[in-house]
Structure 1
Amino acid sequence: MKMIQMNKNVPASSAIGLGCMRLTGLENSKTVRELIDVSMEAGINFFDHADIYAGGEAEAEFGKVLTPKLRSQMVIQTKCAIRPGICYDFSKEHILKSVDGSLQRLNTEYIDILLLHRPDALMEPEEVAEAFSALKKAGKVRCFGVSNHNPMQMELLNSCLEEPLCVNQIQFSVAHCPTIDGGLNVNIHNDAGCNRDGSVIEYCRLKKMTIQAWSPFQYGMFEGVFIGNEKFPELNAVMNRLAKKYQVTPNAIAVAWIMRHPANIQTIVGSTSAKRVQDICKASDVCLTRDEWYEMYLSAGKLLP
């Protein structure tokens, strides 16, 4: 498994991480532990959570099977700031309270990485900095990042932080990559050329931030999975051919497409199938050619100007 060093205070992390949002869909704690064990045997040491996943129950299910030995072999990330149906909350009080809740549910003394889940329009960067500083000094969080943020939002936060943000988690797949579309259609008056995110990939590369890709098999905003979907016949034909060539599954090819990008993107996969996780991890051994990468991009319905 390819490894990524995201921050000096955090151990090297697997380039494929397990997203734990759906853990509550598993039968019992035994199957949760089996999924974790199989993932780690396949090379995964990175586990992604959020305080809102299943209302906190996903973290709790994970915490039920977490032992000191397992914890020492893991990098655990969680997210906070979404108050469902109410607001996004970057207040110091909410951040501190959220972390304490996650620590209790996860059954751990510290979180390796804490992300702010969605941008808060009422963000006070000085207040966020106070919260981060308090958490780090207390040994509760080792480093910090964000999710779904644009470059200027990150710049504003970094202007007050003691240490710069180390992660930005964004939705990214071959069928949903507007940041790639915008970069390829510079100075062209078309929809693809609309810069919707402020060149977030280039910004993160310049700042040495790790980009994490969520929903690597989805198209649109939760519209569905593109693998095996009749809406994407050309893309599936290409993925099936490449899967046969590299002797992996189409899911692994979809992840290999993400991993081929020089931004060193970490992919978060949310499968609860141990076999599927094993198959996806084989993407780490696949290096698509430049022609194959662009062929997949074009077969997803994209155009080069």
Structure 2
Amino acid sequence: MEKIKLSDDVALSRIVYGMWRLGDDADTSPTHVRAKIDACLNQGITTFDHADIYGDYGAEGIFGAALRADPALRDQIEIVTKCDIVAPIGRYADRPVKHYDTSRAHIMASVETSLRELATDRIDLLLIHRPDPFMDHHETGAALDDLVASGKVRAVGVSNFRPWDCELLQSGMQTPLATNQIEISLSRLSPFTDGDLAFHQRKGQPVMAWSPLGGGALMSAQGPAQDVLDTVAADHGVDRAAVATAFLLAHPARILPVMGTNTLSRITALSDALKVKLDRETWFRLYEAGLGQEVP
């Protein structure tokens, strides 16, 4: 599978496996998690996307248990994780209010916790999870720079940031922000026209796409988008998920879909999206179906 270079030190697999629902699985044993990892590796999917808050701050530890069982596995994968959301659950159950914390102290403590939970000595890509309206961009930027200089983090980026949020943080940093992870799918097409994707495409920064299947709605619901997905899927001998993912992969901005499923059979089919080659007209058929109307 193609790798997308984010920095001199970090390249991610074109399709990324997401850990958002890892803790929701009925089986969270190291053996079962390892089966998911192997299903990804067998397709060339080497990048695994985490966040400290996933699984009520427990998913990183579940994944880390599989790495502790086979430490050599770490050198075959790239680990992405995120920080700055403090919610009154899990390790922060005593906090009175959900908030964002991009202070140096919180970022440094979060990274140390993630390293310990994930059973690793390095994070390949650290993302600030949500824009913090109380952010001191000089403090946050210096903390991220120092983490890269220390070797504990190899590259840094953001998630859910708008272009102006990115520019503010970048203005307080020496290290280039490597990516922005935002919601993009046939159910959420606004980044194609609201400036979000254009901002990063102009800078040559690949974008990671969370919820590329619309939170599952594209797979289970019926409507114009699903009808076109089914038609294109039948033409290529794949399912809706493969076509919806291929829609993102086809874009010249080099979008990296972050795919989340706990079902092994679906994990093994994630790379089916690479079998789907969309020409411009077919891409626009899907785009218009997602919009629910003809383009202007």
TM-score (norm 2): 0.92
Query: What's the counterpart of residue 18 of structure 1?
Result: 17
State how 1:169-184 maps to structure 2 within 5 Å: 169-180=181-192, 183=193
Amino acid at match of 1:286: V
* Identical-residue share of aligned pairs (%): 37
The alpha-carbon deviation at position 136 of structure 1 amounts to 1.8
1:155 is the counterpart of 2:155: no
Task: Specify the alignment match of 1:56 in structure 2.
Answer: 57
SS for the counterpart of 1:119 is: coil
Is 1:229 the counterpart of 2:221? The answer is: yes
1:116-168 Cα deviation digits (max 9, x unpaired): 00000111111012211221232210110000111111111111211110010
Asked if 2 retains the 8 angstrom alpha-carbon contact of 1:249 and 1:279, the reply is no
What does 1:101-120 align with in structure 2 at a 5 Å threshold? 101-120=113-132
Structure 2 unpaired stretches of 5+: 88-96
Deviation, 1:175, is 1.5
1:299 maps onto 2:295 in alignment: no
CA–CA distance in structure 2, aligned partners of residues 72 and 113 of structure 1: 15
Which structure 2 residues correspond to residues 1-305 of structure 1 after superposition, within 5 A? 1-10=1-10, 12-26=11-25, 27=27, 28-66=29-67, 67-84=70-87, 85-180=97-192, 183=193, 195=194, 199-218=195-214, 225-230=217-222, 232=223, 234-300=224-290, 301-305=292-296
Aligned to 1:192: none
Alpha-carbon contact 2:142-2:172 (below 8 Å) kept: no
Rounded Cα–Cα distance in structure 2 between residues aligned with 1:2 and 1:285? 13
Judge conservation of contact 1:39–1:274 (CA < 8 Å) in 2: no
- What SS does the aligned partner of 2:155 have? strand
- State the secondary structure of the residue aligned to 2:268: helix
Deviation at 1:25, TM superposition (A): 2.5
- Partner of 1:4, secondary structure, is strand
Corresponding residue SS for 1:226: helix
Q: Indicate if the aligned counterparts of 1:215 and 1:268 stay in contact, CA closer than 8 A.
A: yes
Contact 2:208–2:258 under 8 Å retained in 1: yes
CA deviation map 1:52-91 (0-9, x unaligned): 0012211001000113321101110000001124211111
User: In the aligned structure 2, how far is the partner of 1:303 from the partner of 1:177?
Assistant: 14
- Equivalent pair of 1:173/1:258 in contact (CA under 8 Å): yes
RMSD: 1.3
User: Would the aligned equivalents of 1:166 and 1:208 in 2 still touch at CA under 8 Å?
Assistant: no
1:157 and 1:75 mapped to 2: Cα distance?
A: 24
Q: How many residues align?
A: 282
CA contact (8 A) 2:197 2:253 kept: yes
TM-score by length of 1: 0.89
1:14 Cα shift?
1.1
Q: Deviations over 1:251-302 (max 9, x none)?
A: 1001000111110000000111121122121112322111111101112214
**Maintained 8 Å contact 2:236/2:275:** no
User: Deviations for 1:160-203, whole angstroms, at most 9, x for unmatched residues?
Assistant: 211110010000001111122xx2xxxxxxxxxxx4xxx11111
**Secondary structure at 2:232's aligned position in 1?**
helix
The 3 A distance-change label for structure 1 pair 228 and 124 is: same
Range moving further from structure 2, 25-34 or 99-108? 25-34
Q: Counterpart of 2:92?
A: none
> How far, CA to CA, are the matches of 2:145 and 2:201 in structure 1?
25
